[in-house]
């Protein structure tokens, strides 16, 4: 007599009965989600894979997002009729497993996409609910309704959204906006499958952090169908590989391999860097290195110092070297992220120890304990790009949109400034200082009011930076900061881009550029730049800086020659910061290039 192995308890409790499968026609491999969820070891690996990027985000609650559809139309009596469809798939099972494994609170909400005839509000608003126990919000210009039970989500909770698979980003963005309206802090979203790469690009554009176990390769589309609930798998998800222009099926990147980058996929990289000085001496630095022992590894970096050059010079010398010493084209994505984070921490610790070795009077003086630096690096490993940043240096990816064939500007770094609400909340949480984000004493004294610039502890514009140890550790701090440190951290934000042939270039720049130029403007300038037709600039980087200076001159009512004739130092610094810009051109093996 054969015995059927018992299903895990959570499957019975959640009434998990449907089957959902994915099949790749190119590789003939099958992904059976129901089998994965019924295997404890596989489930543990899945939970670890999905939650790992958010380990340091201090998540309070896991929220399962159920995406549904409804059609809203007036009937003959003028009343509104609602026809709702949708299925919960495996979202509840995955979210419950993460919450149970990580000992976190659990909640649910529904995002309902509406086909609307009646006019709807143009902004996120509360609307009346028939049930007093349910909170209902209209989001996304009325395209979505978000519903959740009252008190289902903890007050001011740090929330991680969970869904089994997604084929569009709008529902996740609607869920985030609704929870933000209710006072929650949404740290990101996690899901097993994304049906196409544009979903991930749209999440990045909306600044939604995410993790995904299966990233679609170029040309892959996952068409999802549910079975009839009998579990016979007669109707199943099919993962179709769209044909490329040469008629060959694009290859799906293996997800179970220890190596996430593909050495067989080659990209040719070239870079152009330009600098323009405002301070005397300049506090910007840059670095461009190809690893001599591993041709698949290249790093480009831009650094922006403040409070003197001591910190930025140290970081320029040490950071990239630490990364290149450890990283290899044979490393997995997780391993590379660990190496990068470790290198950032190591460089910062070395800077700290160098200060502590100095006499107390020296290390506590101006230009030492208050010296700091921001950085953004682009680490290319075969066909994978890793962007890591600390502070307000930023990176923008220029790529061709698959839908419109137009040029997209995608911000692939995270803004670590007081303009980012997510960052300011982390500052308050680290320091336990309710008034951690405030105006400087000078702004307060002059009565600047709402036009004053808010800073960390009224002192620093960035929420993360190398150095600035007076806001990090008691040994190098003093009143009024010492009792509340750490306010800031040097931990980087890391974005991973699996290149697919649509990428044209990456623009790395200090905030001197981004203070006056939008990502889309920068991408447009680089894309239109032709050195053969340029009389004044030999590189696109120089053209970007010139365009930034033109905007600064126009803003301040100056002629260009007046601005550029100013002496570097305090005079020029009144109008703009140092500007450093590196454009990395990406030429793919199939011939697509900038």
Taking Cα atoms as reference points, which of 375, 367, 371 lies closest to residue 343? 375
Dist CA 548 CA 537 (whole Å): 14
97 and 44 in a single domain? The answer is yes
What pLDDT shows up at residue 140? 57
> 305 with 284: CB under 8 angstroms?
yes
The residue range of the domain holding 500 is 267-417+462-588
What pLDDT shows up at residue 394? 97
Residue 371 included in any domain:
yes
Residue 37 included in any domain:
yes
Residue 65 included in any domain:
yes
235 and 297 in a single domain? The answer is no
28 and 147 in a single domain? The answer is yes
328 and 475 in a single domain? The answer is yes
What pLDDT shows up at residue 98? 87
304 and 222 in a single domain? The answer is no
What pLDDT shows up at residue 447? 54
The CATH number of the domain where 155 resides is what? 3.40.50.2020
236 and 276 in a single domain? The answer is no
What pLDDT shows up at residue 216? 55
As a residue count, the chain comes to: 594
321 and 392 in a single domain? The answer is yes
197 and 280 in a single domain? The answer is no
Last residue of a domain, one of 241, 259, 275: 241
Taking Cα atoms as reference points, which of 228, 175, 171 lies closest to residue 194? 171
What pLDDT shows up at residue 201? 86
Last residue of a domain, one of 241, 258, 284: 241
276 and 337 in a single domain? The answer is yes
The CATH number of the domain where 554 resides is what? 3.60.40.10
CB atoms within 10 A of CB 575: 16
Residue 328 included in any domain:
yes
Dist CA 72 CA 82 (whole Å): 5
What pLDDT shows up at residue 67? 81
**Low pLDDT (below 50) residues in the chain:** 1-36, 38, 71-89, 116-132, 218-258, 591, 593-594
225 and 271 in a single domain? The answer is no
Residue 457 included in any domain:
no
Residue 114 included in any domain:
yes
Residue 262 included in any domain:
no
Angle, alpha carbons 226-231-236 (nearest 5°): 35
Into how many domains does the chain fold? 2
Dist CA 414 CA 529 (whole Å): 27
Dist CA 130 CA 389 (whole Å): 47
393 and 536 in a single domain? The answer is yes
Assigned token pair, 582: 């590196």
Residue 234 included in any domain:
yes
pTM: 0.58
Question: Which residues, at least 6 apart from 104, have a Cβ–Cβ distance to it below 8 Å?
Answer: 59, 60, 61, 62, 98
What pLDDT shows up at residue 111? 87
Long-range pairs of 3-12 with CB within 8 A, sequence gap ≥ 24: 7/38, 8/38, 8/40, 8/43, 10/93, 10/96, 10/97, 10/100, 11/37, 11/38, 11/93
What pLDDT shows up at residue 252? 36
What pLDDT shows up at residue 476? 95
174 and 59 in a single domain? The answer is yes
């Amino acid at each position: 007599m054969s015995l059927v192995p018992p299903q895990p308890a959570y499957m019975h409790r959640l009434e998990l009965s449907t089957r959902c499968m994915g099949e790749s026609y190119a590789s003939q491999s099958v992904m059976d989600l129901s089998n994965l969820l019924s295997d404890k070891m596989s489930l543990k690996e899945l939970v670890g894979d999905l939650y790992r990027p958010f380990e340091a985000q201090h998540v309070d609650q896991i929220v399962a997002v159920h995406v549904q559809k409804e059609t809203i139309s007036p009937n003959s009596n003028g009343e509104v009729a609602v026809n709702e469809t949708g299925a919960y798939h495996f979202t509840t099972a995955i979210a419950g497993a993460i919450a149970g494994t990580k000992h976190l609170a659990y909640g649910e909400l529904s995002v309902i996409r509406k086909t609307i005839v009646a006019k709807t509000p143009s902004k996120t608003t509360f609307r009346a609910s028939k049930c007093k126990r349910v909170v209902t919000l209209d989001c996304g210009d009325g395209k979505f309704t978000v519903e959740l039970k009252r008190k289902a989500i903890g007050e001011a909770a740090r929330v991680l959204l969970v869904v089994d698979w997604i084929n569009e980003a709008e529902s996740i963005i609607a869920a985030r906006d609704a929870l933000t309206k209710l006072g929650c802090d949404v740290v990101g979203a996690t899901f097993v499958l994304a049906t196409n790469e544009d979903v991930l690009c749209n999440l990045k554009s909306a600044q939604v952090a995410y993790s995904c176990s299966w990233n679609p390769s170029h040309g892959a589309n996952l068409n999802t169908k549910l079975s009839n609930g009998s579990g016979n798998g007669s109707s199943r998800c099919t993962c179709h590989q769209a044909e490329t222009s040469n008629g060959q099926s694009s290859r799906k990147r293996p997800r179970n391999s220890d190596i996430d980058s593909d050495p067989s996929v080659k990209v040719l990289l070239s870079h152009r860097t330009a600098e323009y000085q405002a301070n005397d001496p300049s506090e910007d630095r840059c670095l461009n290195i190809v690893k001599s022992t591993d041709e698949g590894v290249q790093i480009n970096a831009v650094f922006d110092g403040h409070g003197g050059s001591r910190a930025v010079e140290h970081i320029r010398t040490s950071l990239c070297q630490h990364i290149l010493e450890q990283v290899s084209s044979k490393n997995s994505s997780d391993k590379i992220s660990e190496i990068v984070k470790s290198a950032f921490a190591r460089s910062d610790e070395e800077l700290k120890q160098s200060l502590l070795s100095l006499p107390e009077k020296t290390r506590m003086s101006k230009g030492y304990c208050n010296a700091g630096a921001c950085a953004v690096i682009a680490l290319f490993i075969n066909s994978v790009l890793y962007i890591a940043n600390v502070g307000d240096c930023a990176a923008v990816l220029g790529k061709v949109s698959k839908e419109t064939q137009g040029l997209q500007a995608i911000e692939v770094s995270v803004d670590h400034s007081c303009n980012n609400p997510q960052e300011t909340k982390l500052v308050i949480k680290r320091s336990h200082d309710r008034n951690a984000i405030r105006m400087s004493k000078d702004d307060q004294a002059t009565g600047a009011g709402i036009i004053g610039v808010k800073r960390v502890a009224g002192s620093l514009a960035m929420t993360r930076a190398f150095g600035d140890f007076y806001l990090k550790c008691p040994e190098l701090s003093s009143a009024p900061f010492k009792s509340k440190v750490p306010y800031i951290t040097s931990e980087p934000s890391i974005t991973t881009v699996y290149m697919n042939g649509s990428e044209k270039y990456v623009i790395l720049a200090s905030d001197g550029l981004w203070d006056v130029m939008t990502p889309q403007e920068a991408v447009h300038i680089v894309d239109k730049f032709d050195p053969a037709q340029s009389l004044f600039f030999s590189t696109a980087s120089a053209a970007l800086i010139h365009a930034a200076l033109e905007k600064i001159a126009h803003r301040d009512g100056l002629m260009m020659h007046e601005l550029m004739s100013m002496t570097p130092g305090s005079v020029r610094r009144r109008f703009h910061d140092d500007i450093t810009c590196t454009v990395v051109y990406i030429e793919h093996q199939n011939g697509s290039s900038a």
